[in-house]
Amino acid sequence: MFSGSGTEEYLVALGLHELSYVKSGKKPQPLGIFDGPSWYKPSIAGKLAVLEDYLKIARYLPPKKEPAGTAAILWHDDLHSGNIFVHPKDPTRITCIIDWQSTPVLPLIRHVIRPEFLDFEGPKPLLGFDGDARQLPELPANYKELSQDERKDTEALVRRQSLYKFFEILSAKQNRSVSAALLHQESPRCQLIDYAAITGYHMEPQVKAHLIEAADAWEQIVGPDGPPCPLHYSEEERKTAADELTNWCDCCALLDHVRGDLGVPNPWDGAVSSADYDETRTKLRTIREQFLDLMATDEGERIQWEKVWPYDDDEIHLTSTPALTPRHLQIHLTQPLQTSQNIPSLTTMSTAKVSISVAKKEFARLRLHRAKMSIRRIKSLLARKPDNAMGHSWWNISDDDFAFRFDIGHITPSIMRILAQRNA
């Protein structure tokens, strides 16, 4: 087991490692489309500043009430069905677990996760056993009103949610240290550690936001008799940090939507199978031109966006084996390419019709927001904002209010929503 100081030194080492990485000037795999005109611009100075602040408090971040969370544990963090072998006649008996080659020994709080075979797409049950989190997943009240297909999907979701929650319940009964570590992962201090460990991936706005949160909750971290917090942030610094975080999220959303239209995993390193190579390359060229036309208001801006576009035709390469990001991201890069069922394929859609509708009683009109697309210029884009500014739910795509047509390709309306919201 790590001693208390050993865990503290480990958390300090994470920060020092990131400092070294940032100072090296290496460019990370992009998590967003940064450095565009009037969009978030990552900087080495910003990264160094948040890492210096992190190092001021890193020694105070290990949990005091759950010392088992600092135990040195060998934890397999890629337990999907392909890595688990079972007996052919008795599938309840595990015969072998493979893929241990990159498994580290770390404090439990740093790498405890649910087995990957329990993960699923959809809302996750609340963590913990207090309040609403005590309630087990159940079928919705309108279950009987659903169609047969909807019932099947709902039943499957509830089953996955139940297994997800049962792992937490069994851990609490049979392995309390794992249960405590899972709960600790939801704490601000643990999230701060997670983001600080990947600051070099342009994560400085996230780190700064969690540093401010840690400063505000300092007594909860060190206790009432602990030392004073070494971090102090003015109201102006807090406002700037909040604005930068919003801007950063917009940049990440841009890349998410580009990858969604392209039909590749997120993140993506440019690796595709030989069967998908030509189609992906064609899509990428089309999306790039559409993106540049949509984002740039003049030739000067277009040149700036061209410089920050994250992909190039020459960067697409064939692969036959899965690739991984640095292990702390825990995301597979190479998966079969699939086009979203909700988004028309760029290469198969010859004419697209997109409309934007907003309830008349609840939302006010804004000016038409400038937008352009490759091949044909979109005639106009209607941007609207709700009176109460409650988020993205005020956008509804339908055919009853405003529509435009364009000939080749399709950038998701989500990018247009981001633009409209930023310019509202």
Q: What is the DSSP string of 57-118?
A: HGGG-S-SS-GGGGSEEE--S---GGGEEE-SS-TTSEEEE---TT--EEEHHHH----GGG
Gap between the Cα atoms of 30 and 315, Å rounded: 14
pLDDT tens-place string over residues 171-208: 999 998 888 888 888 788 888 999 999 999 999 999 99
Gap between the Cα atoms of 3 and 8, Å rounded: 9
Gap between the Cα atoms of 407 and 63, Å rounded: 58
Gap between the Cα atoms of 266 and 262, Å rounded: 11
Q: What is the pLDDT of residue 373?
A: 28
As a whole number of Å, the CA-based R_g of the chain is 24
Which is more confidently placed, 48 or 257? 48
What pTM does this model have? 0.70
pLDDT surpasses 70 at 289: yes
Q: What is the DSSP letter of 356?
A: E
| CA dist list (Å): 118 to 23, 181, 281, 333, 384 | 39, 18, 34, 20, 40
Q: 3-state DSSP call for residue 233?
A: coil
The answer to whether residues 257 and 411 touch, using CB atoms and an 8 Å cutoff, is yes
Other beta carbons within 10 Å of 345: 15
Which is more confidently placed, 273 or 4? 273
State percent of the chain over pLDDT 70.
Answer: 72
| pLDDT mean over 94-113 | 89
DSSP H helices, 223-349, are 235-262, 277-295, 299-308
pLDDT tens-place string over residues 374-422: 222 222 323 333 333 333 332 333 333 323 322 234 455 667 667 767 7
Residue 69 exposure: Cα atoms within 13 Å on the Cβ side: 20
Residue 294 exposure: Cα atoms within 13 Å on the Cβ side: 23
Q: What is the pLDDT of residue 141?
A: 93
Q: What is the pLDDT of residue 308?
A: 93
Which is more confidently placed, 374 or 66? 66
pLDDT surpasses 70 at 286: yes
pLDDT tens-place string over residues 115-163: 989 998 889 999 888 888 888 899 999 999 999 999 999 999 999 999 9
Strands (E), 134-241: none
Which is more confidently placed, 321 or 271? 271
| pLDDT mean over 42-66 | 93
Amino acid at 10: Y
Q: Which helix (H) or strand (E) holds 415?
A: helix 413-423
| pLDDT mean over 259-267 | 79
Q: What is the pLDDT of residue 318?
A: 59
Kindly indicate the confidence band of residue 360, based on its pLDDT and cuts at 50, 70 and 90: very low
* Peptide bond connecting 267 to the previous residue in cis, omega within 30 degrees of 0: yes
Number of residues that make up the chain: 424
Q: What is the pLDDT of residue 111?
A: 83
Gap between the Cα atoms of 399 and 359, Å rounded: 13
pLDDT surpasses 70 at 29: yes
The answer to whether residues 71 and 35 touch, using CB atoms and an 8 Å cutoff, is no
How buried is 73 (Cβ within 10 angstroms: 0-12 exposed, 13-18 middle, 19+ buried)? buried
pLDDT tens-place string over residues 202-258: 999 999 999 999 999 999 999 999 999 999 999 999 999 999 999 999 999 999 888
Q: What is the mean pLDDT of the chain?
A: 75
State percent of the chain over pLDDT 90.
Answer: 42
User: Distance of alpha carbon 248 from its chain centroid, rounded?
Assistant: 12
Q: What is the pLDDT of residue 63?
A: 84
